[in-house]
Amino acid sequence: MTFEQWLQSRLTAHGYPCGLIDGDIGKKTIAALKAFQRGRGLQVSGSADELTVEALRRSASNGPGHPERPASPDAGKPSAAGPWPHQKDVERSYGRVGTSQGRLDLPFPMKLAWDARQTVTRITLHTKVIDSAGRAFAEIAAAYTEKERRDLGLDLFGGSLNVRRMRGGSSYSMHSWGIAIDFDPIRNQLRWKSPQARLSHDDAVPFWQAWEREGWVSLGRERNFDWMHVQAARL
């Protein structure tokens, strides 16, 4: 991640969305930077001076509008489809359900969503997606402080590999191949839409963009439901 991308991700995490986190410091990023400086009582220069960078490094928990503002329509739109198969072709690409599984060491500890006393440091995923998921988790670790991850629920693990049928259907869930991950299912329930779902808010944009850069798909971002879920399969 370049400094420019870090700057955009931190502004967005503080509740000042820049759109795509692409390192292009255009009008939208400068406007977000000025708004952040104004909100923090800093000199409104539109440049990332030392005091501004230091303020951006701090927790975003007290930022104006954070975290209750719903995501704006253009606050980081999904990227082009990645290398992953469509849902209908996952068995051809990944093999039989529950096979070819490996372990991913997480860059930050998580807790089981249904039992916060249990710490999670490794998760099970299909071997074909482990490296990609590792890159996304590393970017998330760089974009958010520990407190911000906790506020967003990014430290609440809702499951990865789980051989089962889709809810209300006969087809296998994407979890059956270990190609899907759920986060904070209590605050992002299956049928909840934006802005009720916690991960539909502006401060979650860097989180989703980390996955989208790897070609993973958010059902929340694509269909506005199941905001807990991200998968390495196209719809």
* In contact, 39 and 55? CB cutoff 8 Å: no
Query: What mean pLDDT do residues 193-217 have?
Result: 93
Return the bridge partners of 112, or none: 115, 157
Residue 24 has pLDDT above 50, yes or no: yes
> Tokens standing for 224?
């506005």
- pLDDT confidence bin for 86, thresholds 50/70/90: very high
Domains of the chain, with CATH numbers?
Answer: 3-57 (no CATH), 87-231 (3.30.1380)
Question: Is residue 63's pLDDT more than 50?
Answer: no
Q: What is the CA angle 89-136-97, rounded to 5?
A: 30
Q: pLDDT averaged over the chain?
A: 86
Predicted TM-score of the model (pTM): 0.72
Q: What is the rounded distance in angstroms from the CA atom of residue 183 to the CA atom of residue 166? A: 17
Q: Specify the DSSP class assigned to residue 68.
A: T
- Residues 163-186 have pLDDT tens digits of 998 877 788 999 999 999 999 999
| Cβ atoms of residues 16 and 37 within 8 Å | no
